[in-house]
Amino acid sequence: MQSPIARRFVVHGRVQGVGFRYRCVQAAETAGVTGWVRNRTDGSVEAHVEGPADAVEQVLAWVRVGPRHARVDSVEVGEVAPAGHRGFTVR
């Protein structure tokens, strides 16, 4: 079994008002990761995703595209410590 990893994603583009956070929850639940996603005041979306590396990468692949009406211009990815979240929530 893989040790869990955690990543912080900040997604820039047209990512608010297009269902990004709620579709991110679906992608996270499908991948089996935990964490959270939230809108930021600068118009970006931030997420904390933790779980097995391959599952975190699966969510990152989705984040780079986003839902149908989104336009992802860039994604910042940072390593963070796993926090032991349960479930995946919208903040």
Of 8, 14, 38, 39, the active-site residue reads 39
Cβ(72)–Cβ(66) below 8 Å: yes
State yes or no: is 21 an active-site residue.
Answer: yes
Of 21, 38, 68, 71, the active-site residue reads 21
Residue type at position 57: E
The contacts of residue 4 (CB under 8 Å, 6+ apart) are 50, 51, 52, 82
CB-CB neighbours of 72 under 10 Å: 17
State yes or no: is 23 an active-site residue.
Answer: no
Q: Chain-centre distance of CA 74, in angstroms? A: 13
Which residues form the catalytic set? 21, 39
